């Protein structure tokens, strides 16, 4: 007895299929695409739309309301590709046409027609946006959430020894998850490097560029000796007119407390001197990133002793419409006095809330101290 199994398709039928190219193409098409998620969902939604149209016209217009077609269109806009969505809209139009033919145009109503039309436009816009991104369903939103989480994790300070303290407060304009202010940091033994960057603009408009630059600057931090000149060279090569970028870079030795500050158009770092109880403005300065091919920075250095602190911030804390920046800096230093009674850790967020009240802008604050 032979172990060879009988063919699934009889020879005579196979011969007929081979002679008919259309049938062969149809079989291959079904094998390849019929089980695809997009096509299955398209067929399901078209069937649902047609069933709703038939039941609304033949059974009950109240139990099977034509307004259910709005839900079908919305699901198609959220899940289908643009080409498949157009086919679904044809099916929805056929269902509405059948209802109007059987019950009359008046039974559909002007309000329902306008609502379905608005939903159709919205569905097409959503499908086009997903098509440009090359994603299906709600994957685009999931990608944005993943990018936001990565940006937040990268903006955290590295673990510090018990005899050091640090606090980061980021507040984006309009309560957005994305903004133009971000932090990159790294620690290698007793050496800690921190860079606070401010991209022009605010909220989501500046957030896309901040996402790009955070990855680039994070890769440069700790990999090059001159961090800000390297960032400046990168931005200058882009030759884009997307607004300015300011940054401040701090290199800190955790063993000795020695630090070096370099700045590129950023608001000055302030230091709290526990010996005098005063806040001192650092003298580090430099040109905004990306403007000149060769960046020259004038650094500032010093030592953090017990009780001292360094405060890094963005211009969202000191800039207000109609007011001078120096006045905003004086107000910041005055509000910083409130950090002392409650401690640096608890007072950092209160300081940001106090300075950011009354205007809508991205704000960031980084505080490092020796208890």
Residue 40's pLDDT is 82
DSSP string, 26-58: HHHHIIIIITSHHHHHHHHHHHHHHHHHHHHHH
Q: Residue 238 contacts by C-beta under 8 Å, 6 or more apart in sequence?
A: 290
Encoded tokens for 307: 């009780």
Positive or negative CA dihedral for 33, 36, 38, 40?
positive
Assign 101 a pLDDT band (cuts: 50, 70, 90).
confident
DSSP string, 296-355: --B-EEEE--TT-EEEEE-GGGT--TTS-HHHHHHHHHHHHTTHHHH-HHHHHHHHHHHH
Encoded tokens for 344: 């640096």
| 62-66 LR contacts (CB < 8 Å, sep 24+) | 66/95, 66/96, 66/99, 66/108, 66/112
Q: Which CATH superfamily groups domain 145-370?
A: PPM-type phosphatase domain (3.60.40.10)
Assign 203 a pLDDT band (cuts: 50, 70, 90).
low
pLDDT per residue over 265-322, tens digit each? 898 999 998 888 888 899 998 889 888 888 888 999 999 999 899 999 888 888 766 5
Mean of pLDDT values over 24-31:
48
Residue 3's pLDDT is 43
Contact 338, 347 (CB under 8 A): yes
Domain residues of the chain, as ranges? 11-130, 145-370
Can you tell me whether residue 358 is helix, strand or coil? coil
78 versus 24: the higher-pLDDT residue is: 78
Query: Per the confidence metrics, is the pTM higher than 0.75?
Result: no
Contact 45, 91 (CB under 8 A): yes
**Helix H or strand E segment including 148:** helix 139-154
**Cα 47–Cα 49–Cα 54 angle in degrees, nearest 5:** 90
């Amino acid at each position: 007895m032979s172990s060879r199994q009988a063919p699934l398709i009889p020879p005579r039928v196979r011969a007929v299929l081979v002679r008919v190219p259309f049938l062969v193409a149809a079989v291959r098409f079904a094998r390849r695409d019929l089980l695809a998620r997009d096509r299955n969902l398209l067929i399901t939604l078209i069937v649902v739309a047609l069933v709703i149209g038939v039941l609304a016209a033949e059974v009950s217009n109240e139990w099977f309301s034509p307004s259910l077609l709005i839900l079908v269109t919305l699901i198609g806009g959220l899940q289908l590709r643009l080409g498949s969505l157009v086919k679904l809209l044809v099916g929805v139009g056929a269902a509405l046409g059948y209802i109007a033919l059987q019950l009359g145009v008046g039974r559909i109503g002007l309000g329902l027609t306008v609502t379905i039309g608005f939903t159709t436009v919205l569905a097409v816009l959503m499908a086009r946006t997903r098509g440009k991104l090359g994603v299906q369903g709600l994957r685009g939103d999931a990608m944005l959430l993943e990018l936001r989480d990565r940006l937040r994790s990268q903006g955290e300070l590295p673990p510090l020894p018990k005899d050091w303290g640090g606090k980061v407060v980021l507040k984006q304009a309009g309560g957005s998850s994305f903004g133009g202010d971000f932090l990159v940091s790294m620690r290698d033994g007793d050496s800690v490097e921190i860079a606070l960057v401010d991209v022009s603009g605010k909220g989501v408009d500046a957030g896309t560029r901040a996402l790009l630059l955070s990855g680039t600057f994070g890769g440069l931090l700790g990999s090059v000796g001159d961090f800000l000149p390297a960032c400046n060279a990168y931005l200058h090569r882009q030759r884009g007119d997307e607004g300015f970028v300011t940054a401040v870079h701090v290199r800190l030795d955790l063993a000795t407390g020695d630090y070096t500050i370099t700045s590129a158009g950023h608001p000055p770092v302030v230091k709290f001197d526990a010996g005098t109880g005063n806040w001192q403005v650092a003298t580090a300065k430099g040109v905004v990133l990306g403007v000149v091919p060769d960046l020259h920075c004038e650094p500032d250095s010093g030592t953090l002793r017990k009780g001292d602190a360094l405060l890094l911030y963005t211009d969202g804390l000191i800039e207000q419409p109609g007011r001078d920046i120096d006045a905003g800096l004086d107000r910041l230093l005055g509000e910083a006095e409130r950090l002392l009674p409650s401690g640096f850790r608890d007072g950092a967020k209160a300081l940001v809330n106090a300075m950011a009240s009354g205007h809508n802008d991205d704000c960031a604050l980084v505080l490092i101290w020796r208890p």
